[in-house]
Amino acid sequence: MSVTDFLIANWFLSIPFLILIFLYVRAFAKRGGQRISVHEATSLINEGAQVIDVRESDEFDVGHITGAKNIPNNDIERRSNEIISEKPIILTCALGQNSPSAGEKLQEQGFKDIYIISGGLTTWAETGLPLVTD
């Protein structure tokens, strides 16, 4: 019996299982904020969004988005008072994997309008967008 045959024969088990998988993936994808492309991020930045880079300071110093504030992920709760709650927040890290946990911490503190750059600064640089050093 193939997998397809099993799923068809046991549709009453298969459908709820597939729904649960869909809901889990959907919830995981929104963890910590809405994922956006680098182009969407540049539009939000041009409209006044603030960029928070959650990498460690030595990584930040090598290159970051113009105007970004460096608040390492481990310090995000303690330094959240440095973030303007009324403005959209764009979180970024090297690959887009650490930003969601920072976003969750900010959401727990009541911050809204949190966005995460898909692929992080790696994708930003690959797209040809500039990184600066201060």
Distance of CA 82 to the CA centre of its chain: 19
Tens-place pLDDT, residues 70-127 = 999 999 999 999 999 999 999 999 998 899 999 999 999 999 999 999 999 999 999 9
SS3 125: helix
**Percent of the chain scoring above 90 in pLDDT:** 74
Tens-place pLDDT, residues 1-25 = 787 888 788 777 777 877 777 666 6
The pLDDT value recorded for residue 56 is 97
Question: Any bridge partners for residue 34, and if so which?
Answer: 115
The residues annotated as belonging to the active site are: 93
Distance from C-alpha of 39 to C-alpha of 129, rounded to nearest angstrom: 9
Return the ∠ at Cα 105 (arms to 40 and 109), rounded to 5°. Answer: 100
Q: What residue ranges do the domains of the chain occupy?
A: 1-30, 33-126
Residue 50 has pLDDT above 60, yes or no: yes
What is the pTM (predicted TM-score) of this model? 0.79
Q: Does domain 33-126 have CATH number 3.40.250.10?
A: yes
The encoded tokens of residue 121 equal 């600064």
Q: Are 80 and 119 in contact (CB under 8 A)?
A: no
**Total residues belonging to the chain:** 134
Arithmetic mean of pLDDT, 29-46: 90
